[in-house]
Amino acid sequence: MSASSPSASSGAALIAGLPKLPVSDVLPQILSALSDGNRAVISAPPGAGKTTLVPLALVFEPWCRGKIILLEPRRLAARAAAARMASLIGEEVGGRVGYRMRLDNRISSATRIEVVTEGVFARMVLDDPELAGISAVIFDEFHERSLDADFGLALALDVQSALREDLRILVMSATLDVERVAGLLSDPPVIVSEGRGHPIEIRHQDRPSGERIEDTVSRAIIEAHRSETGSILAFLPGQAKILRTAERLQGRFGPETLVVPLYGNLSQRDQDLAIRPCPAGQRKIVLATSIAETSITIDGVRIVIDSGLQRLPVFEPSTGITRLETVRASRASADQRAGRAGRTEPGIAIRLWHPGQTAALPAFTPPQILASDLSSLVLDLAHWGVEHPASLAFLDPPPAAAFKEAKSLLTQLGAFNEQGRLTARGKTMRDMALPPRLAAMTISAADDGHGRQACLLAVLLTEQGLGGSDVDLDERLRRFRNEKGERADAARRLADRIASGLPRKTQPGLPATAGQLLLHAYPDRVAIQRGGRGRFVMANGRGAELPETERLAGASMLVMADLSGRAVKARILAAAETSRGEIEAELDDLIIRQDETVFDRQSLKLRARKVTRLGAIVFEEKPLPRKTGEAAALALAEGVRELGLQVLPFSKDGAQLRERLGFLYRTIGAPWPDMDDAALLDRLAEWFVPFQGQASGIDTIQPGSLSDGLRSLVPYDILQELGRLAPTHFEAPTGQRHPIRYDGDEPTLSIRVQELFGLKTHPAVAGGRLPLLLELTSPAHRPIQTTRDLPGFWSGSWKDVRADMRGRYPKHPWPEDPAEALPTARAKPRGT
């Protein structure tokens, strides 16, 4: 099986010796598809054997003269897939089958099948656009739709179409949106493996309202352990829920049952313990996150307990914060999880929700590209020579808002110049195996001689669990420096490799603090204590909290590296102490020193001050005499935007003007302006600011200036039509004027019925196109009837109204034919 001369006969013998799994039946179709073409899609259920059998079958094909790259979504899956394939051909990992990931790789000159994590593949393509020596790229478990997988596929398709027509691309999944993926790949052959390893019985146990998920899962595990045989795999949303479930199960089983967790932060040894086969006579209960959904087999598992929940990252572009949310798992994920029960024998999947709720689950897990920090993607695209993602074939294009925010951040970090081109600093950042913020931090630190220390901190932040779980990053960094173990050693070696590529500077006399370093990565997350111990406000204006028992809760200033929860009131997970001196030394170019006018919510007045601040953090302020003019008007507008239009002193006429203009917008449309609150708040700079140059607070705003501002939104020639199309009053046949209301769905006139006697046409506005809604009242101004057809009212229901009203109001006229009667605003003369 050498790279230069693969043996077809030895390949046939090897394939014949592979285990018979469901995907075996479609291997001939797969081989044919990639022999005749260069793209294919495989849809096969969990346990079909696609991850291991397909690469082993393809590597002996005549066209396969180089390596096969198999992409896996997680490190655990990559190691497990490589180990399984190696064992099937009677070898150790690192021979003909190997793997490569961020902190670990086992490959050699003999390696023909290389299993890599998705992020590693993207860097492979960016560093070698021709993918020299690679014959095929297989995207496994593509349904998970990670950002790296989407980007990797877009890059592979670009390489294939422009440089490597001979490159084979295969997309595989157990639960795949086949039509969309096939469409992206220009409709290649789609091969479906229908078989399942073993039958699975689906059961449901509805979770009681209000019960914690760890209590429900614990009870289901105990019941299943008592009534069924075999090992159990339980899916829970996150590490914390797993640990709490493990606590509840402690002491509930004998020594023949082992309870083990399985999540991303565990060491490789502990992860391997979770998936290793049990010794004879033992059972295993594995408490896992979604990490166990795909590509791994946990021998002996025949019972799956599914909480129906998962933790997904949600990125907020406005704050640059990614938070984890617990959400319902998709139907695809539920199928994947259930499939774990049928890998080695008939199984049972227990779903902890009502069966009717399954139909309401989303079909697929949302693509990560739609809710992620896109700064690394934008940097990589710039390196690839692409300014806009539409140039590549993405299954879901990156959201425009997040893309724009990412480009803005990269410009602030110095990766792009003002023309939007990649700078030398940006190229260095791209070459580093770090997120852009942390790459910028290490480059800035290297300028001060702290490059290696910054690299250690960056690796610590990107590899969860290193240095413990302390919030204080100075403490975690200290522990990491002395931490024992293979993973810690590999992480320090990675930091050294990154540091070796940085410019060499003279080492300073004193080491930098973690806070001093982090300032260059997260200037927007510098925070000052405000509101008591453990409560902080960041430079981006958002709040963040620490438990009062934490040491850092008493710090006057922090810089945050990791937060969770809603950005309005985020929970601090990792931070370091800093000071104003450090901030001024490291971020002086971001500190604003200026005279400014601000709106005070309490007094509703403007306040002028000389201020020194970083974003929302004010270091110093000195009162100045109150100012007027455009700057003051802009500050007043910000106050209105914050408090709403209800604070403005509209006059009665001004309020009616707004209603009239709003009516014309709803009826006719542009160029009449939208008068809704949101629309007016959005256009404050047009109609409010130019008319408030002399105002110093809400109480000094002249009502007439608000009316003038609203009129300014209407083109002058159109404004002349306002009185005709939406008159303020209706002149009754008596000569009296009555106001027309425009505050409802239709213009309304409230008037005593006697004033309309003799009127044979219905009153209308908007050039006669829209009838007024008439609220006809009695002489005592009580409602009698509403009508949009006055002549029809005279000839119709007037008879009944007259019969009812003439006895109540005998002093007022109630003629039999009001259309021919004289209008009046008075009672009958005496004696008539």
Cβ neighbours around 336 below 10 Å, total: 28
pLDDT value of position 565 = 72
Per-residue pLDDT for 323 more than 80?
no
- Which of the four pLDDT bands, split at 50, 70 and 90, describes residue 766? confident
pLDDT in tens, 29-81: 999 999 999 999 999 887 788 999 999 999 999 999 999 999 998 888 899 89
pLDDT value of position 133 = 94
pLDDT in tens, 554-608: 999 999 998 887 656 788 999 999 999 999 999 998 999 988 888 888 889 998 8
Of 383-387, 508-512, 742-746, the one with minimum mean pLDDT is 508-512
pLDDT value of position 3 = 43
- Which of the four pLDDT bands, split at 50, 70 and 90, describes residue 826? confident
Nearest to 296 by CA among 348, 361, 242, 233: 233
Report the Cα 787 to chain-centroid distance in Å. Answer: 51
pLDDT value of position 210 = 86
Average pLDDT over every residue of 172-187:
85
Q: Which CATH superfamily is domain 200-367 in?
A: P-loop containing nucleotide triphosphate hydrolases (3.40.50.300)
Q: Which DSSP helix (H) or strand (E) runs through 44?
A: none
Question: Given this structure, which CATH class describes domain 8-192?
Answer: alpha beta
Match 């006895």 to its residue by tokens: 807
- Which of the four pLDDT bands, split at 50, 70 and 90, describes residue 108? very high
* Sheet hosting strand 605-614, strand order edge to edge: 592-600, 605-614, 617-624
pLDDT in tens, 768-821: 888 999 999 988 888 988 999 999 999 888 998 888 888 788 888 999 899 888
- Which of the four pLDDT bands, split at 50, 70 and 90, describes residue 2? very low
* Sheet hosting strand 283-288, strand order edge to edge: 200-204, 347-351, 301-306, 231-235, 283-288, 257-262
Answer whether 136's CB lies under 8 Å from 169's CB: yes
pLDDT value of position 830 = 53
CA dihedral of residues 508, 510, 516, 521 (deg, nearest 10): 40
Per-residue pLDDT for 436 more than 80?
yes
Per-residue pLDDT for 229 more than 80?
yes
Characterise 630 by phi-psi region: left (phi > 0), alpha (psi -120 to 50), beta (else).
alpha
Average pLDDT over every residue of 191-204:
84
This prediction has a pTM of 0.74
Answer whether 555's CB lies under 8 Å from 536's CB: no
Q: From CA 762, how far away is CA 771, in angstroms rounded? A: 7
pLDDT value of position 242 = 93
Answer whether 542's CB lies under 8 Å from 567's CB: yes
Per-residue pLDDT for 241 more than 70?
yes
Match 């795949």 to its residue by tokens: 176
In the chain, what are the domain boundaries?
A: 8-192, 200-367, 373-431, 451-590, 645-724, 727-820
One fold for 8-192 and 200-367: yes
Per-residue pLDDT for 295 more than 70?
no
pLDDT value of position 369 = 92
pLDDT in tens, 347-367: 999 999 998 888 888 888 889
Report the Cα 220 to chain-centroid distance in Å. Answer: 32
Of 320-324, 429-433, 503-507, the one with minimum mean pLDDT is 503-507
pLDDT value of position 505 = 63
- Which of the four pLDDT bands, split at 50, 70 and 90, describes residue 7? low
pLDDT value of position 1 = 47
- Which of the four pLDDT bands, split at 50, 70 and 90, describes residue 270? confident
Report the chain's mean pLDDT, rounded to a whole number.
Answer: 89
Q: Which residues contact 223 (CB under 8 A, 6 or more apart)?
A: none
Average pLDDT over every residue of 520-530:
93
pLDDT value of position 238 = 87
Per-residue pLDDT for 829 more than 80?
no
Per-residue pLDDT for 346 more than 70?
yes
- Which of the four pLDDT bands, split at 50, 70 and 90, describes residue 669? confident
pLDDT value of position 274 = 81
Average pLDDT over every residue of 274-284:
84
